C-alpha cells in the first residue's frame, strides 16, 4: 500500500510516496497491542512497590488495567468492625487514574485474608449479614466510577475431594449470613448488594482451577445460568489461570470460555502466571522459558478467539514480586512476563505478538 507523506525539509514542503509505509509497525508495548485488538491487558499490583521507578514505569507502560493484589482484601481494608482504611488501595487507584488504566476490584467475599477480629469474632448470622452488606456497599460505593469491574465473590467452590461443591466458609455456613444450606443464595445476595452500590460496575465471579471443563466449572456454569435466567446481576466470570503444568489442556479452556460467553457473560483471565521449577538463584531453564512462552501464547490465542473474552491479566508482572516464590518456598517461580530486573522474557514477546494479532 502506498501512502502519501508530507515532509518538511529545511522549510520546504515536499510530498513523497512511501513504499511500505502502510505496514503497521509492531506494537511497542502490551497495552498498545491489546488496544489494537480491543482487549484489556492487566496485572496485579502492590502499592508498596510504586515508589520503585522501574516497577512504576513498567506497570504504566505495559498495562491498561490494574488490580490490587492484596490492597482491597478485608484484612487490609478493615482494621476493625467499624472502620475502613482505603489508603493503600487508593494509591493504586490514583496511579491507575494518572496512567489511564482501568481498575478491577478484588475481592468482596472470600474465605481467605479476612482479619482475625472477623474470623474469631463469634458473630451471629444476622451480624455477619450486616457486616457483609455494609462492607460491600461501602467499598463498592467508595470506588464507584473508579473500579469498572469487581470480583464480587472469589473461590466459593471447593477443591478436591469436594470438587465443585460450595466451600464451607464464614459467609456460607460457618455460620454464614443466614442462608446456610441454600446453595448459591448467599452469593446472589452479595451480587445484588454490589449492584445497588454501583449500577455501572461489571460484577464478576472469580475462581481458581475452573479453567477447563469439569465438575468445578460445571458448578459455576450452573450458577451463572441460573443467575442470568432469574435476573441476578452477574456480568462476568474470571478464570485465574495459575498454571503449574506446562502441558495444560488449552482446548478445554477454550471450550469452557465458549459455553460461558454463550450465556451472555464476559470472561476474563484474571491471575495468570506459569510457574516453573527454579534453581537456588530463582532461575528456570531456557527450555522451560520457551515452553512458558508457548503457554502464554496459547492461552491468549484461546481468549482472543472468543469475542466475549475481554481481558488477560497476569498476577504481577516481574518475577521479583511474585507470590509463586513465597507460596512454593522458593522451589518454583519465574512465572511472569519480566524477570527480576524487569527484562522482558520470551513469554512477554509471545503475549505481545498474540495480543496484537486479532
**Binding stretches for ligand XIL (CB under 6 A):** 69-70, 154, 208, 240, 271, 323
- Point out the residue whose Cβ comes nearest to ligand XIL: 323
Q: Which is nearer to ligand XIL, 33 or 76 (CB)?
A: 76
Residue found under cell 446456610: 180
Instruction: Retrieve residue 232's grid coordinates.
Output: 441476578
Going by C-beta distance under 8 Å and a sequence separation of 6 or more, which residues neighbour residue 191?
Answer: 152, 153, 203, 227, 232, 233, 234
Q: Whose Cβ is closer to ligand XIL: residue 70's or residue 218's?
A: 70
The C-alpha atoms of residue 60 and residue 55 are separated, in whole angstroms, by 9
Write out the DSSP string of 224-236: HHHHHHHT----E
Q: How far is the CB of 251 from ligand XIL (least distance, A)?
A: 24
CA dihedral 111, 115, 121, 123 (to 10 degrees): -50
Considering the complex, what minimum distance in angstroms separates the CB of residue 208 from ligand XIL?
6
C-alpha cell of 295? 503457554
Q: Verify whether residue 155 is a known catalytic residue.
A: yes
Q: Is the CB of 153 or the CB of 265 nearer to ligand XIL? A: 153
∠ CA 38-200-30, nearest 5°, is 25
Question: Is 271 a residue of the active site?
Answer: yes
Between helix 53-62 and helix 87-98 the angle, nearest 10°, is 60
CB of 147 to ligand XIL, least distance (A): 15
- H/E stretch holding 154 reads strand 147-154
Minimum gap (Å) between residue 43 Cβ and ligand XIL: 11
Residue whose CB is less far from ligand XIL, 238 or 308:
238
Selecting among 155, 188, 207, 240, the annotated active-site residue is 155
The residues annotated as belonging to the active site are 155, 271
Amino acid at each position: 500500500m502506498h501512502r502519501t507523506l508530507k515532509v518538511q525539509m529545511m522549510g520546504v514542503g515536499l510530498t513523497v510516496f512511501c513504499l511500505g509505509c502502510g505496514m503497521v509497525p509492531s506494537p511497542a508495548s502490551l497495552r498498545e497491542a491489546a488496544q489494537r485488538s480491543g482487549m484489556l491487558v492487566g496485572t496485579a499490583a502492590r502499592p508498596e512497590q510504586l515508589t520503585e521507578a522501574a516497577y512504576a514505569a513498567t506497570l504504566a507502560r505495559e498495562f491498561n488495567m490494574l488490580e490490587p493484589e492484596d490492597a482491597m482484601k478485608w484484612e487490609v481494608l478493615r482494621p476493625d468492625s467499624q472502620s475502613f482504611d482505603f489508603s493503600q488501595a487508593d494509591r493504586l487507584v490514583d496511579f491507575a487514574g494518572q496512567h489511564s488504566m482501568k481498575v478491577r476490584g478484588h475481592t468482596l467475599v472470600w474465605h481467605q485474608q479476612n482479619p482475625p477480629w472477623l474470623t474469631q469474632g463469634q458473630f451471629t448470622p444476622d451480624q455477619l449479614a450486616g457486616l457483609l452488606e455494609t462492607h460491600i456497599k461501602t467499598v463498592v460505593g467508595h470506588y464507584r466510577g473508579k473500579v469498572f469491574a469487581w470480583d464480587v465473590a472469589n473461590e466459593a467452590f471447593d477443591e478436591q475431594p469436594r470438587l465443585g461443591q460450595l466451600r464451607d466458609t464464614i459467609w456460607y455456613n460457618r455460620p454464614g449470613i443466614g442462608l446456610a444450606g441454600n446453595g448459591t443464595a448467599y452469593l446472589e445476595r452479595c451480587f445484588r448488594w454490589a449492584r445497588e452500590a454501583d449500577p455501572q460496575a461489571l460484577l464478576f465471579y472469580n475462581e481458581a482451577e475452573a479453567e477447563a471443563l469439569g465438575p468445578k466449572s460445571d458448578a459455576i456454569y450452573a450458577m451463572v445460568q441460573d443467575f442470568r435466567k432469574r435476573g441476578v446481576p452477574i456480568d462476568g466470570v474470571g478464570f485465574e489461570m495459575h498454571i503449574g503444568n506446562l502441558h495444560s489442556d488449552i482446548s478445554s479452556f477454550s471450550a469452557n470460555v465458549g459455553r460461558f460467553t454463550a450465556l451472555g457473560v464476559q470472561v476474563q483471565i484474571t491471575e495468570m502466571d506459569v510457574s516453573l521449577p527454579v534453581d537456588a538463584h530463582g532461575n528456570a531453564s531456557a527450555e522451560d522459558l520457551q515452553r512458558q512462552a508457548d503457554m502464554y501464547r496459547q492461552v491468549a490465542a484461546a481468549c482472543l478467539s472468543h469475542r466475549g473474552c475481554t481481558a488477560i491479566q497476569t498476577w504481577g508482572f516481574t518475577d521479583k514480586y511474585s507470590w509463586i516464590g513465597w507460596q512454593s518456598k522458593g522451589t518454583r517461580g519465574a512465572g511472569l512476563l519480566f524477570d527480576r530486573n524487569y527484562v522482558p522474557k520470551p513469554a512477554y514477546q509471545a503475549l505481545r505478538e498474540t495480543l496484537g494479532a486479532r
